[in-house]
Structure 1
Amino acid sequence: MAFDQLDEHEQSELVRKWIRDNVASIFVGIGLGLLVIFGYFQWQAHQVRQNAMAASEFVSFGAAVGAKNEQGAKTALDRIQKEHAGSTYAVIAAMRWAEGALVRKDLAGAEQSLQWAYDNAKNDAVKSLAGQNLARLKLGTDKAAEALTLLNAVPVAGYASSIAELRGDILLAQGNRDEARSAYQAALDALDATAPNRQSLEMKRDDLGTATAVTAPPAATPAAAPAAEKQNS
C-alpha cells in the first residue's frame, strides 16, 4: 500500500515507528556532522594561532637582523623553520638570511638557505622569487648548468620578464650568444614599455648584435663557364 493512501493517523504511526527503529542511526549521523563542523572550526582557529605565532617569530627574527645580532637571528630562524615550516614567514625569513650570508661571503650558507626557501614555499610567487635568487647564486658560483635546470622549473607567477632575462644571462655565460639574445628579446616582449630596467635590458640584447646567420658559399653562375671557355679559345 502506498504511503499517500494511508490516513493521517496511520501515516504518523508509520513515521514514529521508522524513527524508533532508526533513532540510533539518526543520532550517529547528527553527531558525525557536528564533529565535522566542530573540527573545521578548530582547524581554522589552529591556523589563525599558528599564523599569529609565525608572525611573532618573524618579528623577532627581523629585530635580531636589524640589531646585527647574528646568533639571535639564527636562533629565531631555526625556530620559525622548525615550528612553522609551511608558512610564508619562514620562507621570507630564509631568503632574508641568505642576503646576510652573501654579505658575509658565506656562499654555501646562502645557497642552503635559498634552497630551503624554494623547497618549502607554498605560494607560487614567493617560490618563483626564491628560485630566481637561487639560480642567480648558482650562476655566480660557476654552476650555470644547475642554474638553467632550476630556472626551467621555476613557476612564472608574473615574473616572465625577469625569468627570461636571467635565462639570457645564464645562456650568455655558457657561450650561447644567439640563444641569449633571443632570451633577452623575450624578456623585453614580456616587459612593460615604461619599466625602468627596459633600457639596460635593451643594451644587453644589442651588445650581442644580430643573430648569426649561417650562409652557404655562392654557387657558380651558369654564364661563368662559357665566358671562361671563350677566354681560353
Structure 2
Amino acid sequence: MATHLDLEEQEQLDRLKHFWNTYGTLITWVLLIAAAAVVAWNGWQYWQRSQAAQAATLYEELDRAAKASDAERVQRALGDLQQRFARTAYAQQAGLLAASSLNTLGKAEEARTALTWVAEKAADPGYQAVARLRLASLHMDAQAWEPALQQLGGSFPAEFQALVADRKGDVLLAQGKREEARAEYQKAWTAFGAESEYRRLVEIKLNAAGVDVKTLGADAPKS
C-alpha cells in the first residue's frame, strides 16, 4: 500500500512549489545571463589572444623587413597592423620601429607619418610621448623649429618631463635663443636624478652655455 507524505514533508513541498512559482523564472534568467557572460568572456579572451598572435606575426614581419632595409615591406607591414590591429601594443611599437627604419633609409616624410600615427592614435601615453619626442627630433633635422616645439608642447607623463625640457633647449639653442634654451636645460638638469648619465650630458650643455651647475642647487653632482 502506498505511503503518504507526512504533514511536515507536504508543507515543505508546498513551500518549495510556491517559491519556484514565484521566483523560478527570475532564477532561470539569472542563470542564463551568468552563463552567457562566461561564454562571452571566454570568447573575448580567445579573440584577444587571436588578435595578439596575428599582430605579433605582422610585427615580426616588419622587424625582418627593417633588418633587411626593405622600406616597401616595412610600410606594407605597418599599414596592415594599423588597419587590422590598431588597438594592440604591437601596432604602436611597430610605428616607432618603422619610423626609425624609414628615417635611416632616407624616407624622413614617411617616418614622420608613422610617428604622427603613434602620437595621435596610441592608447598608451608612454608610446605617444616617445613618438612626439622623436617627431620633434625629425623636425629639428629638417630645421623646422616651430613644428618641433609644437610636438614638445602640451602635457607629457611626468617621467618624460626632463627629456622634453632638454629637447626644447636643443630647439631653442638652434634658433639662437640662448637664454630660453638655458632655462630649459636648467629644468632638465634639475629633473634628472643625480646619478643619471643623461644629466651629465645636460650639464655639458649648461657649461657650454656659461652656466655653472654648482649654482643650481645643493644636489649638484660632486666632482
Bucket of the pairwise TM-score, normalised by the shorter protein: 0.7 to 0.9
| Structure 2 gap ranges (5+) | 1-7, 212-223
Q: What are the ranges of 5 or more consecutive residues in structure 1 without an aligned counterpart?
A: 1-6, 211-233
The 3-state SS of whatever aligns with 1:166 is: helix
Q: What amino acid is the match of 1:67?
A: A
Rounded Cα–Cα distance in structure 1 between residues aligned with 2:67 and 2:197:
29
How has the CA–CA distance of structure 1 residues 209 and 25 changed in structure 2, closer, same or farther, with 3 Å as cutoff? same
User: 1:58-207 residue pairs with structure 2 within 5 A?
Assistant: 58-156=59-157, 158-207=159-208
Q: Is the 8 A contact 2:62 2:78 kept in 1?
A: yes
The answer to whether the 8 Å contact 1:156/1:163 transfers is no
RMSD: 2.3
Q: Give identity over the alignment, percent.
A: 26
- In the alignment of these two chains, the number of paired residues is 204
Deviation at 1:152, TM superposition (A): 2.3
TM-score normalised by the chain length of structure 2: 0.80
Partners of 1:150 and 1:11 lie apart in 2 by 75
8 A contact 1:171–1:177 mirrored in 2 = yes
- Rate the CA distance shift 1:10–1:67 in 2: closer, same or farther, 3 A: same
Q: Quick one: distance in 1 between partners of 2:75 and 2:180? A: 41
Moved over 3 A (4+): 7-12, 173-176
Aligned partner letter, 2:145: A
Computing the radius of gyration over CA atoms, which structure comes out larger, 1 or 2? Answer: 1
Taking structure 1 as the reference length, the TM-score comes to 0.77
Paired residues for 1:6-21 under 5 Å: 10=11, 13-21=14-22
Distance in 1 separating the partners of 2:12 and 2:172: 81
Answer yes or no: is 1:22 the counterpart of 2:4: no
| Residue in 2 that maps onto 1:209 | 210
